[in-house]
């Protein structure tokens, strides 16, 4: 059997076999951990001294491109991972969540990074705020990469996705990471890390792996570092109280197992489509990954007069689930991840039975299929009933991290919401209803106790990813028992790994720091129209002050006839005089069109396309007889490494546009987004 190795300091460490790791399917030894104790202080130094500089040689856009390429490499080699994943007890469908969900998360962050992050390694959280009366002093915020290491401590249930969901935002933020997977399934994580290293896409020191214990690792961290954790609430509490983390104010993010709920609303009857959707969702969350999901439904809240119907429907559905070796034909549910996990789950079920009774369990014909299934870590889906859910404790406190759920009857929807809150905070709750009024009542009331809320009805079910599917672009985390952190959440989660700093100074200085034009700062005016510049040649703050145009009544009439916009403020002289503006005014969109006519360079050139406006505001009205003038300034350049359909390389340029009247008053303000060609 192979001996797993840690990847630390740029090399693979571990030759001497130590703890055997057994297959969850047949009990055979899959691999051993290594006996050598790594030098964790050296691993932290390596991340800081080699990993940080290597990552910062790239910028946000380049790191996003690397993530995409890394995702593609894992996708090309995924079958090697599926073969190993089977030993964790996962079916092909379970492995899909872990493996393809893992590299899918890399794709998602790569896409979000390309769309939302700038070139360079400074994110400007604008707009800048004027702090002085005359505009010479301003303030804003920037986000920059931290100069430390992110330590990711992961759970056993998702050996690949659990690693990649944390790796993606930290890598994109320019922060190297040290990954510590749960030992029982670390053989799959090790295989994935080897694959990532072999891709040649990882900068030196960007990713390190620990197989086995963390030793004194946390003692070597400081305030520039971060720790993220996924696992039990009790372990999260111990880690959070680590003396070194407290003494050095090391940021700590936890995503803990929680007692998630599903509520069948009182408007749903057994004849409704939503009833079947609810039962299917509960059964799926009990059996997918054999119930070993931090988001799995642990408490099933149903109206008291629907209890028998839900119970019968769930029993019937669970009876049809074939359990056993994932390689055997027809198997829909595999094993728990380890034999230790079987003992842990059984112990928790025994505790639950002090306040609950069995509705469906092993006595209903549990017989896993497979040649050596008796040696595997299989556990029967178990449905319990708590007849007194108003009492504290029991299923509101005890989580059996396997295919276990508990039915709880309620008398009104307010009681249902109160029962979910007894779990003291969860990652996700599902509400099945067909009544928008119930959703509008329940969701705001429940939101204080849950990180994510899924409203399940027949319309959403056509495309819903389900109760237990965290998405990279949405928050994954919850309050209270669930840890209080945020694992995912799109660019929000990337910002967890960045330092936010307030900056103050003149607009010119703020522009120099942020890498984008700040209004009021110095501009660059040349004889060359900015639209005639190729992407590489265009400078931030390069600006054009246009000629002027006087707005006439004919302009307003012609624009109204062309657009069909005959709003009274543009055409009814009496009504306009009685309005707050005192006279007829030009259409706001005419002002935009007229401004474009002032600053556009009409001949073919490097500017390929205008694909949108942002931050549009009409600040002051434009009356008949007013004279307008525009200033166009290069605000920001983003090199996404893309090309036009004909192969022409191009970048994104954001232009700041200000339109003034004859009194130098701002009448319109907006950003234009354009694609600008690079030198071929």
Helix (H) or strand (E) segment spanning residue 261: strand 260-264
The conformation of residue 117, written as its DSSP 8-state character, comes to: -
b/e sequence 17-30, b meaning 16+ C-beta within 10 Å? beeebbbbbbeeeb
Cα dihedral 236, 242, 247, 249, rounded to 10, equals: -20
What distance in Å separates the CA atoms of residue 584 and residue 601, rounded to the nearest whole number? 31
Distance spanning both ends of the chain, measured CA to CA: 55
Buried b (16+ CB within 10 A) or exposed e, 515-547: bbbbbbbebeeeeebbbebbbeebebbbbbbbe
Catalytic residues: 255, 294
What is the sign, positive or negative, of the torsion defined by CA atoms of 125, 127, 130, 135?
A: positive
Between CA 130 and CA 101 the distance in angstroms is: 45
Encode 313-323: b = buried (16+ Cβ within 10 Å), e = exposed.
bbeebbeeeeb
Can you tell me whether residue 186 is helix, strand or coil?
A: helix
Q: Which helix (H) or strand (E) holds 593?
A: helix 588-599
Number of alpha carbons in the 13 Å side-chain half-sphere of residue 436: 2
Show Cβ contacts of residue 527 under 8 Å, excluding neighbours closer than 6 positions.
none
Which DSSP string corresponds to 205-241? TSEEE--S--TTGGGG--TT-EEEEEE-HHHHHHHHT
């Amino acid at each position: 059997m192979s001996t797993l190795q840690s990847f630390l300091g740029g090399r693979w460490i571990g030759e001497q076999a130590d703890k055997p790791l057994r297959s969850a399917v047949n009990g055979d030894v899959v691999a051993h951990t290594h006996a050598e104790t790594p030098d964790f202080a050296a691993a932290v130094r390596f991340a800081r001294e080699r990993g940080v500089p290597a990552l910062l040689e790239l910028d946000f856009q380049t790191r996003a491109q690397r993530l995409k390429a890394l995702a593609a490499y894992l996708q090309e080699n995924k079958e090697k991972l599926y073969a190993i994943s089977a030993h964790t007890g996962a079916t092909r469908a379970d492995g899909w969540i872990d493996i393809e969900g893992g590299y899918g998360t890399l794709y998602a962050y790569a896409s979000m990074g390309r769309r939302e992050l700038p070139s360079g390694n400074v994110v400007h959280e604008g707009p800048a705020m004027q702090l002085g009366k005359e505009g010479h002093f301003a303030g804003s915020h920037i986000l920059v990469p931290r100069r430390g290491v992110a330590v990711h401590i992961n759970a056993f249930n998702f050996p690949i996705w659990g690693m990649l969901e944390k790796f993606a935002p930290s890598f994109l933020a320019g922060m190297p990471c040290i990954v510590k997977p749960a030992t029982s399934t670390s053989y799959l994580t090790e295989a994935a890390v080897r694959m990532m290293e072999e891709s040649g896409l990882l900068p030196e020191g960007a990713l390190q792996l620990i197989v086995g214990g963390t030793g004194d690792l946390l003692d070597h961290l400081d305030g520039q570092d971060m720790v993220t954790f996924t696992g039990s609430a009790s372990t999260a509490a111990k880690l959070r109280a680590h003396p070194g983390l407290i003494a050095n104010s090391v940021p700590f993010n936890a995503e803990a197992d929680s007692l998630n709920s599903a509520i069948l609303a009182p408007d749903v009857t057994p004849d409704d489509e939503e009833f079947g959707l609810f039962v299917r969702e509960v059964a799926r969350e009990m059996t997918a990954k054999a119930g070993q999901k931090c988001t799995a439904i642990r408490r099933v809240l149903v109206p008291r007069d629907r209890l028998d119907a839900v119970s019968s429907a769930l029993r019937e559905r669970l009876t049809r689930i074939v359990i056993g070796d994932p390689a055997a034909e027809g198997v829909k549910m595999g094993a728990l991840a380890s034999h230790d996990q079987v003992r842990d789950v059984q112990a928790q079920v025994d505790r639950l039975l002090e306040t609950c009774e069995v509705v469906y369990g092993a006595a209903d014909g549990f017989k896993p299929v497979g040649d050596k299934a008796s040696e595997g870590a299989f556990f029967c889906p178990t449905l319990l009933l708590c007849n007194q859910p108003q009492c504290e404790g029991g299923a509101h406190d005890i989580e059996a991290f396997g295919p276990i759920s508990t039915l709880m009857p309620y008398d009104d929807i307010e009681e249902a919401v109160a029962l979910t809150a007894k779990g003291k905070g969860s990652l996700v709750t599902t509400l099945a209803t067909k009544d928008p009024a119930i959703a509008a009542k329940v969701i705001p009331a429940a939101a204080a106790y849950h990180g994510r809320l899924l409203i399940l009805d027949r319309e959403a079910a056509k495309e819903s990813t389900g109760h237990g599917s965290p998405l990279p672009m949405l928050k994954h985390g919850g309050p209270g028992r669930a840890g209080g952190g945020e694992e995912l959440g799109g660019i929000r989660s990337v910002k967890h790994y960045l330092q936010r700093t307030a900056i103050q100074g003149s607009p010119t200085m703020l522009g120099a720091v942020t890498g984008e034009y700040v209004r009021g700062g110095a501009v660059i005016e040349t004889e060359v129209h900015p639209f005639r510049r190729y992407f590489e040649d265009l400078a931030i703050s390069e600006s054009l002050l246009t000629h002027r145009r006087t707005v006439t009544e004919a302009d307003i009439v012609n624009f109204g006839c062309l657009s069909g916009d005959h709003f009274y403020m543009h055409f009814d002289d009496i009504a306009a005089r009685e309005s707050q503006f005192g006279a007829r005014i030009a259409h706001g969109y005419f002002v935009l069109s007229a401004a474009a006519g002032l600053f556009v360079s009409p001949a073919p050139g490097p500017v390929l396309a205008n694909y949108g406006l942002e931050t549009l505001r009409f600040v002051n009205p434009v009356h008949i007889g007013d004279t307008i003038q525009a200033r166009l300034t290069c605000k920001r350049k983003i090199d996404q490494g893309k090309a036009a359909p004909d192969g022409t390389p191009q970048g994104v340029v954001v232009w700041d546009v200000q339109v003034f009247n004859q009194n130098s008053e701002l009448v319109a303000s907006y950003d234009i987004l354009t694609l600008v060609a690079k030198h071929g």
